[in-house]
């Protein structure tokens, strides 16, 4: 796909609609785009590349647009192979091409592709003039790899942001937000953030502070739409996610082997609804896809987890979810938990300890059901919902 998105700046990205798992972990039912950008000036600069598997289509696009001109510079904002995989082939196509990156970029460039020559190292704030266009490099380490940076083109006020502000989903006909229906991309941005970037809230906030006083007309990420009309919304979303600021609403995630713990989840949801909670999302951890659960946890400020005992420990699918939550350092949640058991309460104990570990505001009432749901456990669901909604409402 080739589109001019600003004066002499072209989108030359590639859609991959056959990819099933991003990073071999996260389902991408709508595919994914690998975004790359070409600046045609006195010097030609290519900003980010694509996955090696897409190299032929990508190379054909570049050749058609360049019309015999070489690429003078390759700017590497991020070394992850879905963007850097084509570098070795690009160097063969354009042997004099100088690669621009920071010190940590070049360590990875050597490790992945054994490339050590014709490099130009940049530091935070350094510039490169192409002619009419001037590039400024903004280092944003740990967003979400150590070498990540952004490239700002001052003439057109265009920010090439690397993976930041990106999302899952291939692009349909045009890369620019004003020319497409962006509705599906907002949920996919949150899911992408939750799965890929979620741990790095502090580096995201640091990057946003660096961008605060820079005039922006568009943000060009390496995945998803070019944000132009909705640029402010994209920045606001990243600010909200990185501060772990949840909307009003509750996620109930549960595991259940034989349906008894699932009954508790349903009864708790019913009691929450009776107390005025309208946004309630229920996930069975054995069925729901993990990135969707994480996306909803990032979205809503209330979280209730429940699971049975399994082999004297916590139900494994729930233990896996706890690991995902912990590794993303999700903060500022209102929390409660419930569980079921036959001969040991270890599952509820584990879930209760987890809330303390995460330093969340926790309800004073938990529900621990022995065997099947009885009147006592039903009454516990009433008390849990009451305690939880008081916390949720700041009471």
pLDDT of residue 172: 96
Phi and psi, residue 149, nearest 5°: -145, 170
pLDDT tens-place string over residues 328-369: 999 999 999 998 765 566 788 899 999 999 999 998 767 666
* Per-domain boundaries in the chain: 3-242, 250-392
pLDDT of residue 313: 87
Query: Residue 372 pLDDT more than 70?
Result: no
| CA 223/CA 170 separation, integer angstroms | 8
From the list 65, 70, 76, 87, the residue with the least C-alpha distance to 8 is 65
Beta-ladder partners of 34? 14
Please tell us whether the domain made up of 3-242 is placed in CATH 3.60.15.10.
yes
Is residue 18 within 8 A of residue 5, CB to CB? The reply is no
pLDDT of residue 125: 97
More confident residue, 310 or 224: 224
Measured from the Cβ of residue 238, the count of other Cβ atoms closer than 10 Å reads 24
Instruction: For residue 93, give Cα distances in angstroms to 69, 70, 96, 155, 191.
Output: 11, 9, 9, 29, 36
User: Which CATH number is associated with domain 250-392?
Assistant: 3.40.50.360
For β-strands 334-341 and 313-314, DSSP reports them as unpaired
Percent of the chain with pLDDT over 70: 95
Distance of CA 29 to the CA centre of its chain: 16
pLDDT of residue 343: 57
Measured from the Cβ of residue 213, the count of other Cβ atoms closer than 10 Å reads 6
| CA 54/CA 284 separation, integer angstroms | 36
Report CA dihedral (348, 350, 351, 354) to the nearest 10 degrees. Answer: 160
> What percent of the chain is helix, strand and coil (3-state, nearest 5)?
35, 25, 40
pLDDT of residue 339: 87
pLDDT tens-place string over residues 165-188: 999 999 999 999 999 999 999 999
Instruction: Count the residues in the chain.
Output: 395
């Amino acid at each position: 796909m080739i589109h001019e998105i600003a004066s002499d700046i072209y989108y030359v990205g590639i859609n991959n609609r056959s990819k099933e798992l991003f990073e071999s972990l996260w389902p991408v039912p709508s595919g994914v785009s690998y975004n790359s950008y070409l600046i045609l000036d006195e010097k030609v600069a290519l900003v980010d590349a694509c996955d090696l598997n897409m190299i032929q289509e990508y190379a054909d696009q570049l050749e058609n647009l360049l019309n015999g001109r070489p690429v003078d510079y390759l700017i590497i904002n991020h070394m992850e192979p879905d963007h850097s995989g084509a570098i070795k082939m690009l160097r063969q196509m354009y042997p004099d091409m100088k690669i621009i990156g920071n010190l940590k970029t070049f360590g990875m460039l050597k490790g992945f592709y054994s490339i050590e020559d014709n490099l130009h190292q940049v530091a935070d704030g350094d510039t490169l003039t192409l002619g009419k266009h001037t590039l400024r490099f903004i280092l944003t380490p740990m967003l979400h790899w150590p070498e990540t940076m952004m490239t700002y083109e001052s003439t057109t006020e265009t920010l090439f942001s690397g993976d930041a502000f990106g999302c899952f989903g291939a692009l349909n006909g045009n890369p620019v937000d004003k020319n497409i229906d962006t509705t599906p991309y907002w949920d996919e941005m949150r899911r992408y953030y939750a799965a890929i970037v979620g741990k790095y809230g502090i580096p995201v906030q640091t990057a946003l502070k660096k961008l605060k006083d820079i005039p922006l007309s568009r943000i060009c990420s390496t995945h998803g739409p070019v944000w132009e009309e909705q640029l402010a919304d994209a920045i606001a979303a990243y600010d909200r996610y990185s501060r772990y600021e949840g909307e009003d609403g509750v996620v109930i995630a549960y595991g259940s082997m034989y349906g008894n713990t699932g009954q508790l989840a349903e009864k708790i949801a019913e009691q929450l609804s009776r107390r005025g909670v309208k946004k309630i999302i229920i996930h069975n951890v054995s069925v729901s896809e993990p990135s969707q659960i994480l996306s909803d946890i990032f979205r809503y400020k209330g979280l209730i987890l429940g699971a049975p005992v399994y082999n004297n420990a916590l139900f494994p699918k729930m233990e896996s979810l706890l690991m995902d939550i912990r590794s993303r350092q999700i903060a500022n949640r209102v929390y409660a938990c419930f569980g079921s058991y036959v001969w040991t309460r270890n599952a509820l104990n584990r879930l209760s300890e987890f809330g303390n570990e995460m330093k969340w505001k926790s309800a004073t009432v938990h529900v621990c059901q022995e065997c099947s749901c009885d009147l006592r456990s039903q009454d516990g669901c009433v008390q849990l919902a009451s305690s939880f909604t008081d916390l949720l409402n700041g009471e």
